[in-house]
């Protein structure tokens, strides 16, 4: 199975840039997802990476290095509403399943 590691909590200032890292170990990597979850709400999809490199989507970007088992989510021009938990999820095809496994999530606190 996967071993997914993310920092538990991060803080940042409004307007700044923050990078949330995710490392993983798989034997049959087949995609990595990032989700955002505000307190008391459903997780919502942010990004998907399956090839190495950077995927940019507005203020959010996600990077993947398959050889290093590493991804990060980059949030620019932080806003107070970005305070949320960010979940990294990895799909490992080795078990014959396309269903991703989730990390514990990183709680991001944005302060003025």
Told to check if 44 binds another protein by CB under 8 A, we report yes
Q: Which is nearer to another protein, 69 or 105 (CB)?
A: 105
β-pair partners for 10? 108
3-class secondary-structure state, position 82: helix
* CB-based contacts of 12, cutoff 8 Å, min separation 6: 18, 78, 108, 109, 110, 111
Told to check if 103 binds another protein by CB under 8 A, we report yes
∠ CA 33-96-56, nearest 5°, is: 15
* Near another protein by CB under 8 A: residue from 24, 29, 33, 72: 33
* Near another protein by CB under 8 A: residue from 64, 92, 105, 110: 105
Told to check if 69 binds another protein by CB under 8 A, we report no
Q: By CB under 8 A, name the binding residues for another protein.
A: 4, 8, 30-31, 33, 35, 40-45, 48, 50, 87, 89, 91, 97-105
């Amino acid at each position: 199975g996967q071993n997914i590691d993310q920092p538990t909590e991060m803080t940042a200032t409004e307007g700044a840039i923050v990078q949330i890292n995710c490392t993983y170990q798989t034997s049959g990597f087949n995609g990595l997802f990032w989700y955002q979850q505000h307190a008391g709400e459903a997780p919502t999809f942010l990004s998907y990476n399956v090839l190495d490199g950077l995927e940019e989507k507005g203020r959010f970007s996600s990077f993947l290095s398959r050889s290093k088992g590493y991804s990060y989510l980059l949030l620019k021009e932080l806003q107070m509403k970005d305070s949320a938990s960010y979940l990294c999820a990895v799909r490992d095809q080795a078990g014959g399943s396309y269903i991703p496994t989730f990390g514990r999530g990183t709680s991001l606190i944005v302060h003025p």
